[in-house]
Chains A and B, each alone.
Chain A
Amino acid sequence: MRLDTSWRNGAKLLALMRPSLALTSLITIALTLTPILLVPASTTAAPGPGSSNETRERYLSPIEMSLSPDGRQIYVVCQGSDELRVVDIESGKVLTAVSVGRAPRGITLSPDGAQIYVTNSTDDTVSVIDAAALRVTRTLPTGFEPAGIVSDKLGKTLYVANRLSGDISVIDLTTGQEAKRLLAGRGASYLERSPDGKFIYGTHIYPNPGAFRTSPNSEITVIDTARQTVVERKSLHNVAGVFHLALSADGKLGVVTQLRPKNLVPLAHVEHGWAFGNSLSLFGEDVGGTVQVPLDELDRYYSLPWGVVISPDKSRMFVTTAASESVTVIDVSRLLDFTRSRREPFVNDLSASANYVVARIPVGHNPRGVLLSKDAARLYVANRLDDNITVIDTRTNQVVRTIDLDGPRTINPIRRGERIFFTADYAFQGQFGCSNCHLDATIDGLQWDLEPDGFGKDIVDNRSLEDLAGTEPFKWNGGNPDMPTECGPRTEKYFFRSQSFGERELTDLVTFVYSLPYRPNRYRSPNGELTPAQERGKAIFERTKYKNGNPIPERNQCAYCHSGPKFTNNRQVDVGTGKSTDRSPLIDVPQLRNIAYSAPYLHDGSARSLEEIWTVFNPKDLHGVSNDLRKEELNDLVEYLKTL
């Protein structure tokens, strides 16, 4: 099941060279590749901007699963094919596929099992599926980019975590209308109901807003279902990226999967280990407060813990580690005993996991959703990038079967590149992959100290990967002229500190990155028309004169630098936002598409909101002319920018 890595030997050899030599070699390779990259082709990789659609397949990308009430079928959310596939467990066959909305992401069943609810992240809806007829009967509106979903115990109310709007929709199932939205963590994504139905717990994949260059913080959002309000936010200190959660059948133990980034010190320290702490947070009566526990080992990492389930007897906990392509099995009794025996926090003690991890089971590419059979004898794992389900015997911790979901048989360059993007297999000790920072190929909301040039120097904000074609060069200083350079030698030198990609791997990776689409903009009306405020903002963005009628110098006009279809002129300019800790004041003009979703702003993330770009960081009108604007005009400008 594991990726064959034998063909990476060439890259491994490169890694053994002196860094400078390896870098030179890879740049040479990248430059040599350039003419090839510009040729759209279906047989070879097509990493050139705009050519990726030619090789796009309709993969299934199973991401979440639910078990039918009788335990005989698995409902599989197929993110890539916009379907719910129904699998008969005994035969291992796909019985049917139900078309739902675009990019489905979450699933839950009504308490009586009669209804299946699937969130559609691109459409901002929930598909209600009649479980007997297996057809969509209703579509309900949600917030922006819905993900996790759960109903209350009575089946009267749905709770939906909305990733882009950072809130939780409370939907009255009688009327089908949103009753209200509750404030959740940034990037709200996953929900779970307590066994007694009194509470719903939520997680979020981006850290909550905080002060510049401080440790990130996240939360477990606790909703009282009787009052339908948030009653508690369990703080997760130094955590950015919280994924699935699970609760024991007795309700006394809760667990979330999470990342602990080490983004405040140079990432070059990856060679010393622990760029990310792949870990869990435990909560509930069994542990008292909230306790963070590591999953990694001293010299091996189990990257991107994502799905989690606890056996009904609370003896075992199973965690999918999406970037390490494995399942970690934890003995819960030993975990609790060890946790109670340690008075001080031990989440950074990577020797600790040996006390409670009992198995690491290799599975397929990018394992995500996980569930147990009714008798807990079988564990099912959705391998998102293999279009299949691994079946594990929970007594022996052995893979006993693979259920094929009938996806495409060929693996195209985009898919190969996607596998590379989502694996940690290339990094030193398997610490992390591209998707650790670009969560689900987006951002992580963090600012990183990437280079070994001293603490606190050249801090960079994580940039969006949406629709990148035509936005070259890359890197905040524009130092990487093209994507192969961005993903190749830079990755090897600063990130992975290990083997780099082979020629075809790099090409595939670039192809995948260029294939990442522009997500629908929620601030622009469906017909493309702008509101009066957005129109006024557009006029400010495009103005060429001061209010007094004098011409604004070209380089101080917003639309001069932020020009073209992606709102970048592909150059590097000094707009007065460089810091004394930056190597150069010249900053690459970033693309602005969907900028509303990628706070914070500026090259180092020092502007916590769009407004601060001008209210705090533009005293000399170098970053566009803003000091003659009234407050409402600045608001109009912000409203326009949010539509791009």
Chain B
Amino acid sequence: MRIKAITSLAILAAAILVSFAPSLTPLATAQEMPRFRWENFTTANGLPDNHVFCVLVDGNRIWAGTENGLGRYENGAWKIYRPVDGLAHQAVLSLALDKRTGDLWVGTMSGLSRLSAGRIDNFTQLNSGLSNDVVYGVGVQGDFLWVATAAGASRLNTRTSQWALFNERNTPMYEIWTYAVSPAEDKVYYAVWGGGVLEYNVKTERWKEYDDPDGETQLVLMKDQGLIHEITTSVSYVDNILWVATYFGASRYDGRYWHNFLQKDSGLPSNFISQVKAVDANRAWFSTDKGLAYYDGANWAVYTPALDTHKPEMLVRNAAGTVTQIDVQTAPAHNYILGVDFQGDDLWVATAKGLSHGIREHDSKTGIK
């Protein structure tokens, strides 16, 4: 085993801290972070396309939204859906499952598709009340489907087929490029690309906006005093906690206090984050352009093929900033991560060059270097 020299300033500082703080227990922390054996899928073994925008787990069925089709992986085989099969468009940007009915909602570059036990119905801005055909995000909340489009938010009442549109004219949405949505029973959150975060209160039916107190500048002048940046890409609202991903860091909001995460002062491998998906109030997964990051409320782990050598890599950073490299044999298909979903303790990960299945190893023999 060996300890690799870490060159980033933050991690170097952490290492120095560790050398002067023997009371910290990085080994114990590193052992507690989840480890995975990664199995990767590409077009070579049935994936519709290697550029995977999104992934969704439905029991033993895995859905992968790619640049050239929707893939369904089940019982060891892939089935592919493209426009010739009835899908609205081949570029699949977002997925949402209605857990009550089993219906899958598919956001594409040219409309919204509903897959229901093999039947596909398409909703577009021409044949329905959908506000725009570029569907970046979808989410299910009871009988409502919430949609994030390039021209504002849309909501479909699946019982009455009524559409409601939300944009700059009836919300504080000054930028209408909605990029992701996270609906829950009490609130619905939208990530608005260049427009911060919008919150819809289900009870009062009112909207509220959250913006970067620094404005649109990339400088962080007021850390932990608000949203980290206006260019938001993803929201995840779990256990009354809002997690936000941006291209310039991440934020966590408990309804009163903000906490921001940057590469320089957290375990994030990059500030360029495409998705955040929370496990609960304290834990979340971050899809960055430099690996998949996990935060357990204190410690961080990053899973990726190394940017330089492309060898499998797992780095653990504890609360004190100490970084430990774990000896691993596998890694996600690519460092550019676009999305993640959970299958029990396992992970499914969308990357720019393949889909990855992270099989959780509970009794790993892998040592810590």
Contacts and interface: CB of A to CB of B under 8 A. Distances in A.
Interface of A: 143, 165, 167, 179-183, 208-209, 219, 221-222, 227, 229-233, 523, 533, 608-609, 611-612, 615-616, 631-632, 634-635, 638-639
A635 B131 CA distance: 9
Contacts of B128: 609, 611
B163 A635 contact: yes
Give the secondary structure class of A's interface: mixed
Contact of B126 (A182, A221, A611): A611
B125 interface: yes
B104 to A, nearest CB: 11
Contacts of B160: 523
Nearest to A183: B116
Contacts of A639: 162
A608 B127 CA distance: 7
Contact of B159 (A181, A231, A608): A181
Contacts of B118: 232-233
Given A180-B101, A638-B129, A233 B119 contact: yes
A-B pairs, top 5 by smallest CB distance, nearest first, are A229-B102, A230-B117, A635-B129, A615-B126, A632-B165
Nearest to B170: A632
30 contacts: A179-B100, A181-B101, A181-B143, A181-B159, A182-B101, A183-B103, A183-B116, A209-B121, A219-B119, A222-B117, A229-B102, A229-B117, A230-B101, A230-B116, A231-B102, A232-B118, A233-B118, A523-B160, A608-B127, A611-B126, A611-B128, A611-B129, A631-B129, A631-B131, A631-B165, A632-B165, A635-B163, A635-B164, A635-B165, A638-B129
Contacts of B162: 533, 639
B141 interface: no
Contacts of A182: 101
Interface residues of B, number: 28
B102 A230 contact: yes
A233 B117 CA distance: 6
B167 interface: yes
A602 to B, nearest CB: 13
B160 to A, nearest CB: 7
A600 to B, nearest CB: 10
A271 to B, nearest CB: 37
A533 B119 contact: no
Given A631-B129, A634-B129, 17 more contacts: A165-B159, A181-B158, A181-B159, A208-B119, A219-B119, A227-B102, A229-B100, A230-B102, A233-B116, A233-B118, A233-B119, A609-B127, A609-B128, A616-B126, A632-B165, A632-B169, A635-B164
Contacts of A609: 127-128
A231 B127 CA distance: 27
Contacts of A616: 126
A609 B163 CA distance: 13
Contacts of B119: 183, 208, 219, 233
B276 to A, nearest CB: 29
Contacts, number: 71
A632 B158 CA distance: 18
A208 B118 CA distance: 13
Contacts of A233: 116-119
Given A208-B119, A523-B160, A183 B101 contact: yes
Contacts of A209: 121
Contacts of A232: 117-118
Contacts of B170: 632
Interface string B153-183: 0000011101111010110000000000000
Nearest to A616: B126
Contacts of A230: 101-102, 116-117
A358 B106 CA distance: 50
Contacts of A208: 119
Contacts of B163: 635
B125 A615 contact: yes
A445 B292 CA distance: 51
Contacts of A632: 131, 165, 167, 169-170
Nearest to A596: B161
A259 B332 CA distance: 53
Nearest to A232: B117
Interface in B79-132: 100-103, 114, 116-119, 121, 125-129, 131
Nearest to B132: A631
Contacts of A631: 125, 129, 131, 151, 165
- Residue with the greatest number of chain A CB neighbours at <10 A, chosen from B126, B143, B167: B126
Contacts of A231: 102, 117
Contacts of A219: 119
Nearest to A168: B101
Interface string B316-348: 000000000000000000000000000000000
Nearest to B166: A632
A535 B367 CA distance: 68
Contacts of B116: 183, 230, 233
Nearest to B169: A632
B100 to A, nearest CB: 4
Nearest to A230: B117
Given A209-B121, A523-B160, A632-B167, A229 B101 contact: yes
A182 B98 CA distance: 11
Contacts of A179: 100
A611 B159 contact: no
A423 to B, nearest CB: 35
B100 A180 contact: yes
Nearest to A217: B119
A232 B114 CA distance: 15
Contacts of B131: 631-632
A612 B101 contact: no
A632 B159 CA distance: 19
A165 B159 CA distance: 8
Contacts of A180: 100-101
B101 A143 contact: no
- Residue with the greatest number of chain B CB neighbours at <10 A, chosen from A221, A608, A635: A635
Contacts of A143: 159
Contacts of B167: 632
A525 B101 CA distance: 27
Nearest to B59: A227
Contacts of A183: 101, 103, 114, 116, 119
Contacts of A181: 101, 143, 158-159
